[in-house]
Amino acid sequence: MNDRKEIEHPYLLFLGDAHDHLAAKTARGIVDWRSDWCLGQLRLDGCKTSVGIGDMTVAEAAEAGARALIVGVANRGGVIPENWVDTLLEALDQGMDLAAGLHMRLSDIPALRDKARALGRLLFDVRHPDRTFPLASGVKRLGKRLLTVGTDASVGKMYTTLVIERELRARGVEVDFRATGQTGIFIAGEGVSVDAVVADFISGATEWLTPANDPDHWDAIEGQGSLFHPSFAGVTLGLIHGAQPDAIVLCHEPSREHMRGLPDWPLPNLQECLAANLAAARLTNEAAFCAGIAINTSQYDEDEANRILNETSDSLSLPCVDPMRTGVSPIVDRLL
Asked, colleague to colleague, whether 11-125 and 144-335 share their fold, the answer is yes
pLDDT digits (tens, 9 = 90+) for 228-273: 999 999 999 999 999 999 999 999 999 999 999 899 999 999 999 9
Cβ atoms of residues 75 and 55 within 8 Å: no
Question: Among candidates 278, 312, 168, which has minimal Cα distance to 320?
Answer: 312
Alpha-carbon gap, residue 61 to 299, rounded angstroms: 33
Cβ atoms of residues 58 and 70 within 8 Å: no
Instruction: Read off the DSSP letter of residue 222.
Output: P
**Topology given in CATH for the domain delimited by 11-125:** Rossmann fold (3.40.50)
pLDDT digits (tens, 9 = 90+) for 101-147: 998 999 999 999 999 999 999 999 999 988 899 999 999 999 999 99
pLDDT digits (tens, 9 = 90+) for 75-101: 777 889 999 999 999 999 999 999 999
Domain boundaries, the chain: 11-125, 144-335
What pTM, to 2 d.p., does this model score? 0.89
**Topology given in CATH for the domain delimited by 144-335:** Rossmann fold (3.40.50)
Within 13 A of 121's CA, how many CA atoms are on the CB side?
27
Mean pLDDT of the chain: 95
Cβ atoms of residues 195 and 185 within 8 Å: no
Q: Taking residues 152-173, report their average pLDDT.
A: 97
